[in-house]
Amino acid sequence: MAAAQNKVKLFENVLNQEIISLEEIKKLCFSGCPEEASIRATCWKLLLNYIPPETADWKSHLKKQRESYAKFIDELVQNSVENDNDSSTKDHPLNTNPQSDWNQYFKDNEMLCQIDRDCRRLSPGLAFYQYETKYPYGKIFKSNHETNPLRKRLAGIALSAEEIHTNKVGTFQKNKEIKKKAPEQLSDGEEYHWEVVERILFVYTKLNKGQGYVQGMNEVIGPLYYTFATDPDQSGQENAEADTFWCFMNLMSEVRDNFIKSLDESKVGITHKMQQVMEVLEKIDTPLYIYLTKNLEVKPQYFCFRWITVLLTQEFDLPNVVRIWDSLLSHEKRFDFLIYICCAMLKLIRGDILKKDFTAALKTLQVRLY
Amino acid sequence: MAAGPYNYSYIFKYIIIGDMGVGKSCLLHQFTEKKFMADCPHTIGVEFGTRIIEVAGQKIKLQIWDTAGQERFRAVTRSYYRGAAGALMVYDITRRTTYNHLSSWLTDARNLTNPNTVIFLIGNKSDLDAQRDVTYDEAKQFAEENGLMFLECSAKTGENVEDAFLDTAKKIYKNIQDGSLDLNAAESGVQHKPSNGPRGANLGGESSGNKDPCSC
């Protein structure tokens, strides 16, 4: 107990400085942030370069960033072509011009459906995302819509699919399955945490068109949103959406190469990182390395592709993931350090692996939650 | 050869391929656990399942590789095809785009496996007949034109799931019996495990199999 309080004190001493020493924060975070106050949320924002070390600038900086995010929402979520009632525009849904706003709108719908499918099944083991947020769309953004426009848009997509279906088969069966899929248990103005994550990803993808949405981004965003949305500080919690967005942007700028297919075989791509895991393993545990690669012919892409791509979010419970991220975000080599964590994970189960044949070893390697 | 519950004479390697969200992991889960997993998270890279089945009195261990469906992962998932004896190619009967992409999946399956690999086409989500977007007949015709086996299944209710996995195994077994699948050829995807017999390559070095630590 005393030790825990002591730890909080240590953090507070550093965080209460006018200009925070990032070096000291990194040192402290590396052995884990305490749950108290909003220490973790604040530290992560510092570590991800979202807020500056000068504490006096925080207020104005956060205000500016949160306002810019609200502008993105306004432009990309609120004002889509379907809500554009200006009859003077020449654009229309059947416009075949690739530059047409409607053409883009339908392309975005495909991406939105993809994001939607993945966000609904975000961390199924944890109830958090299936709970309502206290700060839904209507409360956070100035808008004449009380409800998240994306929900309406998704419902529209499901509906048009239903219409096509009835035309084709020629019956007028009402479809219950589609209805069930829409988050209708919540009334207008309420929304689930996963819907907030969905909106952040939609905005991120719209702003990073070249990269697009890749499965796994939803997992990477998880620990950030969870940390900010459960921040004991009310203003932090209220602005979790905007803060998560910016921190996610900064985090992705460091790990995005993992998500880009054309870089797979390059020095910065995922294949190289998986090889690094095996190279380090060879040095620190040669017998295990030999058993895996020579005896079993297990390739790193059979197990550590997921570990690296989604930064271990799938291998542990969220509270443990958050703890690992404390170290990962504060280590000076940051994502190179991930390689060593992967090797540590292998070391932990080495005894098990060394006894097993190919099938059983692979199952052990792939099991979630250490 | 000791007779034990975990004894098996062959290992067949399967891969499951197809667009994202068609239910590949759910099919695997239904087959190995006999349960429907409603909130199945999407697959990143590859996941792995096994089950021991019986064909013509022979115990066969299926080693099933469930792959990620999103286009981004294609380059990585291609490395899992090597040495597959069976390929389950899945589309979603309620989403036509997933059916339209079959020819590209088939190209991958043909190019990256051996000529004897049994390819089984599965139209998943047959329980959602009211939302059907691909008819049985057109898929059946596609399968016939391309020499594929075909069934519509439901990972949710379990309908035909067992049959799809078992029929694939029967066909592979038949290919072994009539000699069209050479077990000594590299990458046959089949590993025969008589007490001291020859072994097929590339399934990873399984130990002699008398005691399989995982009782799946």
- Tokens 């059983």 -> residue: A360
Count of C-beta atoms within a 10 Å radius of residue B174: 14
pTM of the predicted model as reported, rounded to 2 decimal places: 0.84
**What pLDDT score does B209 carry?**
40
Query: Which of chain A's residues have a Cβ under 8 Å away from the Cβ of B131?
Result: 161-162, 165, 175, 177-178
Residue owning tokens 């096994």: B50
Exposed, middle or buried, B64 (CB in 10 Å: 0-12/13-18/19+)?
A: buried
The answer to whether residues A88 and A261 touch, using CB atoms and an 8 Å cutoff, is no
φ, ψ for residue B62, nearest 5 deg:
-90, 130
Q: Does the beta-carbon distance from A169 to B70 stay under 8 Å? A: no
Q: Which domains does chain A have, with CATH numbers?
A: 56-259 (no CATH), 261-366 (1.10.472.80)
Say if B2 falls within a structural domain.
no
Q: How far is CA A302 from the centre of its chain?
A: 23
* Residue of chain A with shortest Cα separation from B201: A297
For an interface test with B, which of A168, A215, A367, A368 has the most B Cβ atoms less than 10 Å from its Cβ? A215
How many whole angstroms separate alpha carbon A70 and alpha carbon A79? 12
Q: Is B198 contained in some domain?
A: no
pLDDT digits (tens, 9 = 90+) for A52-80: 999 999 999 999 999 999 999 998 988 76
User: What residues make up the domain containing B98?
Assistant: 10-192
Inter-chain contact B205–A358, Cβ cutoff 8 Å? Answer: yes
Kindly write down the DSSP assignment for every residue of A211-228, as one continuous string: T---TTHHHHHHHHHHHH
Residue B15 phi, psi dihedral angles, 5° rounding: -125, 150
The CATH number covering residue B16 comes to: 3.40.50.300
Measured CB to CB, residues of chain B less than 8 Å from chain A are: 11, 20-21, 39-42, 44-48, 50, 61, 63, 68, 70-76, 79-80, 128, 130-133, 202-207, 209, 212-214
Residue B195 contacts residue B164 (beta carbons within 8 Å): no
Residue A99 CA to residue B171 CA, distance in Å, equals: 50
Tell me if B209 is assigned to some domain.
no
Q: What is the ipTM of this complex?
A: 0.78
Nearest residue on chain B to A117, judged by CA atoms?
A: B21
Q: How many CB atoms lie within 10 A of CB B29?
A: 20
Q: What is the DSSP letter of A75?
A: I
**B19, closest residue in chain A (CA to CA):** A114
> What is the total count of domains within chain B?
1
The gap between the terminal CA atoms of chain A, to the nearest Å, is: 27
**Helical pair A58-72 and A193-207, crossing angle rounded to 10 deg:** 80
B25 falls within a domain: yes
Shortest Cα distance from A306 to chain B (angstroms)?
6
Considering the domain boundaries, does residue B213 fall inside one?
A: no
Per-residue pLDDT of chain B (216 residues; tens, 9 = 90+): 444 556 889 999 999 999 999 999 999 999 999 999 887 888 888 888 999 999 999 999 999 999 998 888 887 888 889 889 999 999 999 999 999 999 999 999 999 998 899 999 999 999 999 999 999 999 999 999 999 999 999 999 999 999 999 999 999 999 999 988 888 776 788 888 754 344 444 455 444 444 444 444
Count of CA atoms in the C-beta half-sphere (13 A) of B72 = 22
Are B47 and A366 in contact (CB < 8 Å)?
Answer: yes
